[in-house]
């Protein structure tokens, strides 16, 4: 079955370019030209992927993204941000808002489709149950509430990617997860070139865990073990 793609874009020309390009690729395309229309279509249609322009007439695309990524039933829908803003800050803000990828305008359909396929590939790996709760090594991860709690006392404030990373590590505890597997699962990349991305996220996750160490459990950050040359492992 063809994946349903929602395009939220106010510029007619870009919208038509996207629609035609994606329909040629046999995707089922639906469109919105404002942020609010995009949000209500997201809730009603539950698309498989959203292409979101940042410069919209009513609401900022960043806020649209945040809302999609905060609602329980829409947060797993991948979002690709389209931006004419080229500064690194905008990209970082977009990714922090939970966007899964971004593309700077002007772009080619081919590039977009490659990114979309990478995200769909990722979903084959990362597919938690909506009501899943993992409880291991003093850490409770609640998929439905998108919440991580340490020993039922303190909440951990994680970005969507850090949350997904911790989920995969906890889900596969005591198993070594290779960097390439984590990359494919969470970013959809297949290139080993980018493997530093995983390391950076692991470091951040460890830092957040170690901030809790003094308050509660000792060595909480040591739950994530580096397997030199391979990847990472969560120890119970
Ligand atoms: Ca625009």
Q: How far is the CA of 118 from the centre of ligand 1 (A)?
A: 25
How crowded is the C-beta side of 37, counted as CA atoms within 13 Å? 14
How far does residue 20's CA lie from ligand 1's centre (Å)? 18
What's the CATH number where 24 sits?
3.40.50.2300
**Mean pLDDT over each residue of the chain, to the nearest integer:** 85
pLDDT digits (tens, 9 = 90+) for 26-36: 999 999 999 99
In whole angstroms, what is the distance from residue 220 CA to residue 171 CA? 17
For residues 112 and 162, membership in a common domain is answered with no
SS3 93: helix
Q: What is the Å distance from ligand 1's center to 100 Cα? A: 19
Distance of CA 35 to the CA centre of its chain: 20
- Other CB atoms within a 10 A radius of the CB of residue 152 amount to 9
Ligand 1 ion: nearby residues, β-carbon < 5 Å:
10, 53, 55
- Between CA 169 and CA 163 the distance in angstroms is 10
Q: Supply 108's token pair.
A: 């080619």
Domain count, the chain: 2
How many Å lie between the centroid of ligand 1 and the Cα of residue 53? 6
| CA 8 to centroid of ligand 1, rounded, Å | 9
- Same domain as 163, residue 181: yes
On whether both 98 and 69 belong to a single domain, the answer is yes
Collapsed DSSP state (helix, strand, coil) of residue 18: helix
What pLDDT does residue 192 have? Answer: 46
pTM of the model: 0.68
What is the distance in A from the centroid of ligand 1 to the CA of 50? Answer: 15
Residue 95 has pLDDT above 80, yes or no: no
- Is pLDDT at 166 greater than 90 in this prediction? yes
Domain range holding 118?
4-125
> Which residue in the block uniquely carries the two structure tokens 């990362």?
126
**Residue 98: its H or E element:** none
Residues 98 and 149 in one domain: no
CATH number of the structural domain spanning residue 179:
1.10.10.10
Domain boundary among 91, 125, 159: 125
At 180 the pLDDT is 79
The sign of the dihedral angle between the CA atoms of 183, 187, 191, 195 is: negative
**Residue 131 alpha carbon to ligand 1 centre in Å:** 36
Q: For residues 136 and 233, is the Cβ–Cβ distance under 8 A?
A: no
């Amino acid at each position: 079955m063809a994946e349903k793609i929602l395009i939220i874009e106010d510029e007619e020309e870009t919208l038509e370019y996207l629609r035609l390009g994606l329909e040629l690729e046999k995707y089922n395309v639906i469109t919105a030209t404002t942020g609010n229309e995009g949000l209500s279509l997201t809730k009603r249609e539950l698309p498989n992927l959203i292409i979101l322009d940042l410069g919209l007439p009513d609401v900022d695309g960043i806020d649209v993204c945040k809302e999609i990524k905060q609602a329980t039933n829409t947060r797993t829908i991948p979002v690709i941000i389209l931006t004419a803003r080229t500064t690194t800050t905008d990209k970082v803000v977009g990714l922090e808002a939970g966007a899964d990828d971004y593309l700077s305008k002007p772009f080619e359909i081919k590039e977009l489709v490659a990114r979309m396929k990478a995200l769909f590939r990722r979903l084959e790996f990362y597919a938690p149950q909506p009501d899943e709760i993992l409880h291991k090594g003093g850490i409770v991860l609640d998929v439905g509430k998108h919440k991580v709690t340490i020993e039922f006392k303190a909440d951990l404030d994680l970005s969507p990617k850090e949350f997904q990373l911790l989920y995969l590590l906890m889900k596969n505890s005591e198993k070594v997860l290779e960097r390439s597997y984590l990359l494919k699962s969470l970013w959809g990349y297949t290139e080993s070139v980018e493997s530093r991305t995983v390391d950076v996220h692991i470091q951040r996750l460890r830092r957040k865990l170690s901030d809790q160490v003094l308050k509660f459990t000792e060595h909480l950050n040591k739950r994530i073990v580096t397997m030199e040359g391979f990847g990472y492992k969560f120890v119970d």
